[in-house]
Structure 1
Amino acid sequence: MAKTESNLINMVLALLIITLVAGGTLGMVYKVTKEPIATAKLAKQKAAIESVVPGFDNNPTDETYELTSAEGYQLEVFPCKKGSELLGVAISSKTMKGFSGEIKLMVGLKPDGSIINYSVLEHKETPGLGSKMQEWFNSTEKPSQSVLGKNPGADNLTVSKDGGDVDAITAATISSRAFLDAITIAYNTYTKEGGQK
């Protein structure tokens, strides 16, 4: 068998074939996984809404609207109603102040702005430290940790180290500050940007 001469044209052709095969494979994988990923994302969003504002009988995603926070974030607001009564809103909030960057939450607020519940949607915080956000800030045994029932307009929702009313996660003060920032962004955006619909 004759050895193919290595020249620029052969190398470019081989690279082009490899690129086309890799690109085609990636395109197929994207096409196959696009729908299941979107379905899983919607299911996660629905579960988060149900956990932060329980008891509604409408479909909050049908009445969703967006508000822009003072920080420039687009926040989705999901009105949760029982009959015609507004039980509260679920707001997808975020902050970029986490120890490892972005933190996304779903925050449930009563019409008066009090926190019903929250759900951590995404974060990249340190496992075992900042990742404790989901459990730490809703402790019924330690009210100084909990944000549930508090109103960011009346309560100082900053960490106690900064003079606030909330105990930070042990060894994760930056993550705690970021979590509370995302809660405050949701509250401020809803109450100050005309979100009460």
Structure 2
Amino acid sequence: MKSTLKNMTAVLFGITLVASAGVGAVNMITAEPIALAEQAAKVEALKGVLPAFDATTPETKTIDEMPITVYTATSGDEVVGYAVETMSKLGFGGAINLMVGFTPAGEVINVNVLKQTETPGLGTKMADEGNPLLASIQGQNLAQKQLVDGKLAVRKDGGDVDALTAATISSRAYVDAINRAWMAYKSVATGEAATDVASGATNTAAATSEPAAQEGGQNE
């Protein structure tokens, strides 16, 4: 075949078409297994923060322009708890996602960290069993905590939630996500209007009171 611009363009177009078709085929093959795996992980997360249940009914709220989903768990005709899939964008490494379980009376049953990209050995400890953040709220009604402007806060910000050692930013993000879960839970369980929880004061503190990252590792 004589090498011409037209021929080269046709060859490149053909290669691109074949590559695109291959990518599309791979996506079609993997999409369903990925979706099933994500669904299975969500079911396990729900089981980890709720008592035994027969079914859950999801309802999504928008708080601080973020989708927060409340799963009302039932056994027979009785509501046995609420699980809230919540998030915060204030993490040291980016967004964090949690699943928070509440009893019908508002006590925190458990917290499951779904996703986080915090500093290994520091912020990642939020996912450890019995970590200080979880220990500060598990089994407690958040309305009876030491609140700041009606919200949970770490001790450094005037609240009574114990932060992770050397990971105040991650701890604030965890508490921020819990506050959002609490607002969503109350909205569904009691009909109270869901309100935004973002705090300019806390955001400013998080941005200005922490030391910069140090050479050889992140310092929160």
TM tier, smaller: 0.7 to 0.9
- Secondary structure at the counterpart of residue 64 of structure 1: strand
Check the 8 A contact 2:97/2:116 in 1, yes or no: yes
Asked if residue 179 in structure 1 is aligned to residue 174 in structure 2, the reply is yes
Q: TM (normalized to structure 2)?
A: 0.76
Q: How many residue pairs align between the two structures?
A: 186
Question: What is the rounded CA distance, in whole Å, between the counterparts of 1:11 and 1:129 in structure 2?
Answer: 54
Gaps of 5+ in 2: 192-220
Question: What is the rounded CA distance, in whole Å, between the counterparts of 1:145 and 1:117 in structure 2?
Answer: 10
- Superposed, 1:63-102 pairs within 5 Å as 63-69=57-63, 71-102=64-95
- Superposed, 1:10-159 pairs within 5 Å as 10-56=7-53, 58-60=54-56, 63-69=57-63, 71-135=64-128, 138-139=130-131, 145-155=135-145, 156=147, 157-159=152-154
Gaps of 5+ in 1: none
CA offset at residue 85 of structure 1? 2.4
CA offset at residue 127 of structure 1? 2.1
Change in CA separation of 1:115 and 1:24 when aligned onto 2, cut-off 3 Å: same
CA offset at residue 144 of structure 1? 8.6
Letter in 1 for 2:16: T
Q: TM (normalized to structure 1)?
A: 0.84
Change in CA separation of 1:78 and 1:144 when aligned onto 2, cut-off 3 Å: closer
Letter in 2 for 1:112: A
